[in-house]
């Protein structure tokens, strides 16, 4: 069992923190859209920003175990992360707009469907672009 965990550790932790990030995103969206009555696109942006901040901290430390040190390296990593998540935000907004305004799908159902697409895109972008291992770290 321990060997399986070690083999799939990164994906398992990404899944765990992905679920928690989704809770932050959904909780923020629900609060803003249903309790505070903020329009759904604005709620999507604010909730996504909160989730992105949470995701950066957890992905950096526990999922990808970033080795970036020093201001220049950390700022570069942050810039890549927030740029990649900006792409995710646009993807989320596009899905929400298309689903809710154009296809008239319930906003909560569409948020769920958009999250599936966004989570997959986020993992790929984080693995390939943001927290990529240096050649000396690869084994």
User: What does the pLDDT average to over 120-131?
Assistant: 85
Quick: pLDDT tens for 5-32.
889 998 899 899 989 998 999 999 999 9
| Res 137 pLDDT > 60 | no
CA distances to 8, 40, 78, 107 from 52, rounded to whole Å, are 23, 18, 11, 20
What residues contact 47, with CB distance under 8 A and at least 6 apart?
A: 24, 25, 26, 27, 28, 29, 32
> Length of the chain, please?
139
The model's pTM is 0.75
What residues contact 98, with CB distance under 8 A and at least 6 apart?
A: none
């Amino acid at each position: 069992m321990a060997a399986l965990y070690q083999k799939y550790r990164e994906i398992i932790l990404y899944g765990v923190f992905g679920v928690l990030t989704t809770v932050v995103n959904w909780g923020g969206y629900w609060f803003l859209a249903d309790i505070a009555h903020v329009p759904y696109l604005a709620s999507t942006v604010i909730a996504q920003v909160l989730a992105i901040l949470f995701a950066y901290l957890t992905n950096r430390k526990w999922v990808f175990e970033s080795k970036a040190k020093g201001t220049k390296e950390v700022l570069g990593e942050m810039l890549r992360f927030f740029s990649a998540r900006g792409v995710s935000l646009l993807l989320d907004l596009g899905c929400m707009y298309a689903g809710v305004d154009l296809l008239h799908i319930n906003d909560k159902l569409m948020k769920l469907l958009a999250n599936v697409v966004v989570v997959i895109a986020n993992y790929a972008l984080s693995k390939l672009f943001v927290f990529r291992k240096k050649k000396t770290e690869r084994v």
